[in-house]
Amino acid sequence: MALKAYERRAHDLRRRIDDANYRYHVLDDPQISDQDYDALLRELIDLEEAHPDVRTPDSPTQRVGGTPAAGFPPYVHARPMLSLANAFDEDELLAFDARVHKLAGIDGDIAYTCELKIDGLAVSLRYDVGRLSAGGTRGDGSTGEEVTANLRAIKAIPLALRDAEVALPRHIDVRGEAYMRKSDFARLNADREARELAPFANPRNAAAGGIRQLDPKMTAERALSFYAYAVGEIDAPNPPQTQSALLAYLRALGFRVNEHAHGVPSIRDVLAFAQEWEAKRDALDYEIDGIVIKVDDLVLQARLGTVGKDPRWAIAYKFRAREARTKLLDITVSVGRTGVLNPNAVLEPVHIGGTTVSNATLHNQDYIRTNDIRVGDVVTVIRAGDVIPRVVGPVLELREGDLPEYTLPTVCPVCGSDVDRPEGEALSRCTNATCPAQRRERLRHFCSRGAMDIEGIGDQLSAALVDTETVRDVSDLYHLDLEKLLTLPRMAEKSASNVLAAIERSKSRGLARLLFGLGIRMVGAQNAAILAGDLGSITALAAATEEELLRSEGIGEQIARSVVLFFAQEPNRAMIERLAAAGVDVTAPLRPREPVGVLAGKTLVLTGTLPTLTRDEAKDLIVAAGGKVSGSVSKKTDYVVAGDDAGSKLEKAESLGIAIIDEAGLQALLTAG
Ligand code: IVH
Asked if residues 654 and 636 have their Cβ atoms less than 8 Å apart, the reply is no
Return the pLDDT at 603.
Answer: 92
Q: Is the CB of 290 under 6 A from ligand 1?
A: no
**461 and 509 belong to one structural domain:** yes
Asked if residues 233 and 79 have their Cβ atoms less than 8 Å apart, the reply is yes
pLDDT confidence of 496, banded at 50, 70, 90?
very high
**573 and 648 belong to one structural domain:** no
Residue 646 in domain = yes
Asked if residues 289 and 119 have their Cβ atoms less than 8 Å apart, the reply is yes
Q: Which numbered atom of ligand 1 lies nearest the CA of 294?
A: 2
Ligand 1: which of 140, 177, 260, 273 to mutate, judged by most atoms within 8 Å of the beta carbon?
177
Return the pLDDT at 224.
Answer: 95
Asked if residues 249 and 240 have their Cβ atoms less than 8 Å apart, the reply is yes
**125 and 105 belong to one structural domain:** yes
Please state the rounded mean pLDDT for residues 386-414: 88
Ligand 1: which of 84, 296, 298 to mutate, judged by most atoms within 8 Å of the beta carbon?
84
Please state the rounded mean pLDDT for residues 478-501: 93
Sign of CA dihedral 404, 405, 410, 415: positive
Catalogue the active-site residues.
117
Residue 421 in domain = no
**540 and 657 belong to one structural domain:** no
Sequence-distant (6+) residues with CB within 8 A of 664 are none
Q: Is the CB of 257 under 6 A from ligand 1?
A: no
Q: Is the CB of 220 under 6 A from ligand 1?
A: no
Please state the rounded mean pLDDT for residues 79-106: 94
Residue 414 in domain = no
Return the pLDDT at 595.
Answer: 55
**279 and 229 belong to one structural domain:** yes
Q: Is the CB of 230 under 6 A from ligand 1?
A: yes
- Rounded Cα distance between 442 and 432, Å, is 10
Return the pLDDT at 28.
Answer: 74
Q: How far is the CA of 87 from the centre of ligand 1 (A)?
A: 14
Share of the chain above pLDDT 70, in %: 96
- Among 167-181, 187-201, 315-329, 400-414, which stretch is predicted with the lowest mean pLDDT? 187-201
**Which of the pair, 127 or 622, is modelled with greater confidence?**
127
Return the pLDDT at 593.
Answer: 57
Q: Is the CB of 155 under 6 A from ligand 1?
A: no
Sequence-distant (6+) residues with CB within 8 A of 82 are 141, 306, 309, 310, 311, 314
Please state the rounded mean pLDDT for residues 552-561: 90
Q: How far is the CA of 310 from the centre of ligand 1 (A)?
A: 11
Boundaries of domain holding 155: 86-318
Q: Which numbered atom of ligand 1 lies nearest the CA of 116?
A: 15
- Rounded Cα distance between 145 and 72, Å, is 6
Please state the rounded mean pLDDT for residues 26-33: 80
Sign of CA dihedral 642, 648, 649, 652: positive
- Among 345-354, 408-417, 498-507, which stretch is predicted with the lowest mean pLDDT? 345-354
**159 and 183 belong to one structural domain:** yes
Please state the rounded mean pLDDT for residues 570-593: 91
Q: Is 363 left (phi over 0), alpha (psi -120 to 50) or beta?
A: left
Q: Convert the pLDDT of each residue in 238-288 to its tens digit.
A: 999 999 999 999 999 999 999 999 999 999 999 999 999 998 988 899 999
Return the pLDDT at 519.
Answer: 92
Sheet containing 628-630: give its strands across.
Answer: 628-630, 603-607, 639-642, 659-661
Q: Map residue 611 onto helix, strand or coil.
A: coil
Please state the rounded mean pLDDT for residues 156-168: 94
Sequence-distant (6+) residues with CB within 8 A of 618 are 606, 610, 641, 663, 666
Please state the rounded mean pLDDT for residues 485-497: 91
Return the pLDDT at 544.
Answer: 95
Q: How far is the CA of 84 from the centre of ligand 1 (A)?
A: 7
Whose Cα sits closest to atom 16 in ligand 1? 117
Whose Cα sits closest to atom 5 in ligand 1? 82
- Among 82-86, 184-188, 216-220, 384-388, which stretch is predicted with the lowest mean pLDDT? 384-388
Q: Is the CB of 77 under 6 A from ligand 1?
A: no
**314 and 327 belong to one structural domain:** no
Full-model pTM:
0.59
- Rounded Cα distance between 292 and 88, Å, is 12
Identify which of 561, 566, 562 has the alpha carbon closest to the alpha carbon of residue 635: 561
Ligand 1: which of 117, 174, 259, 262 to mutate, judged by most atoms within 8 Å of the beta carbon?
117
Q: If residue 420 lies in a helix (H) or strand (E), which one and from where to where? A: strand 419-420
**272 and 214 belong to one structural domain:** yes
Q: If residue 150 lies in a helix (H) or strand (E), which one and from where to where? A: helix 148-152
Return the pLDDT at 469.
Answer: 93
Return the pLDDT at 479.
Answer: 95
Share of the chain above pLDDT 90, in %: 62
Average pLDDT of every residue of the chain: 90
Number of structural domains found in the chain: 5
CATH number at residue 622: 3.40.50.10190
| Distances 71 to 63, 212, 373, 394 between C-alpha atoms, Å | 19, 9, 40, 40
Domain end (from 575, 593, 611): 593
**301 and 344 belong to one structural domain:** no
Q: How far is the CA of 116 from the centre of ligand 1 (A)?
A: 9
Return the pLDDT at 39.
Answer: 84
Return the pLDDT at 123.
Answer: 97
- Rounded Cα distance between 459 and 356, Å, is 35
Please state the rounded mean pLDDT for residues 480-495: 92
**41 and 157 belong to one structural domain:** no
Q: Which numbered atom of ligand 1 lies nearest the CA of 314?
A: 2
Return the pLDDT at 4.
Answer: 84
Q: How far is the CA of 318 from the centre of ligand 1 (A)?
A: 12
- Rounded Cα distance between 40 and 547, Å, is 61
**221 and 368 belong to one structural domain:** no
- Rounded Cα distance between 619 and 250, Å, is 72
CATH number at residue 377: 2.40.50.140
pLDDT confidence of 423, banded at 50, 70, 90?
confident
Helices (H), 371-481: 439-447, 459-467
Q: Convert the pLDDT of each residue in 93-102 to its tens digit.
A: 999 999 999 9
Q: How far is the CA of 10 from the centre of ligand 1 (A)?
A: 39
Q: Is the CB of 211 under 6 A from ligand 1?
A: no
**179 and 261 belong to one structural domain:** yes
Q: Is the CB of 229 under 6 A from ligand 1?
A: yes
Whose Cα sits closest to atom 17 in ligand 1? 117
Start-to-end Cα distance in the chain: 91
Q: How far is the CA of 229 from the centre of ligand 1 (A)?
A: 8
Residue 654 in domain = yes
Q: Which numbered atom of ligand 1 lies nearest the CA of 311?
A: 2
CATH number at residue 584: 1.10.150.20
Strand partners, 340: 429
- Rounded Cα distance between 200 and 192, Å, is 9
Residue 145 in domain = yes
pLDDT confidence of 387, banded at 50, 70, 90?
low
Q: Map residue 352 onto helix, strand or coil.
A: strand
Return the pLDDT at 245.
Answer: 97
Please state the rounded mean pLDDT for residues 649-669: 92
Q: Is the CB of 118 under 6 A from ligand 1?
A: yes
Find the length of the chain. Answer: 673
Q: How far is the CA of 82 from the centre of ligand 1 (A)?
A: 8
Whose Cα sits closest to atom 4 in ligand 1? 117
pLDDT confidence of 475, banded at 50, 70, 90?
very high
Q: How far is the CA of 169 from the centre of ligand 1 (A)?
A: 23
Return the pLDDT at 239.
Answer: 94
Q: How far is the CA of 185 from the centre of ligand 1 (A)?
A: 21
Q: Is residue 1 predicted with pLDDT exceeding 60? A: no
Backbone angles phi, psi at 499, to 5 degrees: -60, -45
Please state the rounded mean pLDDT for residues 52-78: 81
Whose Cα sits closest to atom 12 in ligand 1? 117
Whose Cα sits closest to atom 23 in ligand 1? 83
pLDDT confidence of 385, banded at 50, 70, 90?
low
Residue 22 in domain = yes
Q: Is the CB of 289 under 6 A from ligand 1?
A: no
Q: If residue 630 lies in a helix (H) or strand (E), which one and from where to where? A: strand 628-630
**Which of the pair, 613 or 377, is modelled with greater confidence?**
377
Residue 405 in domain = no
Residue 125 in domain = yes
Please state the rounded mean pLDDT for residues 491-497: 92
Q: Is the CB of 152 under 6 A from ligand 1?
A: no
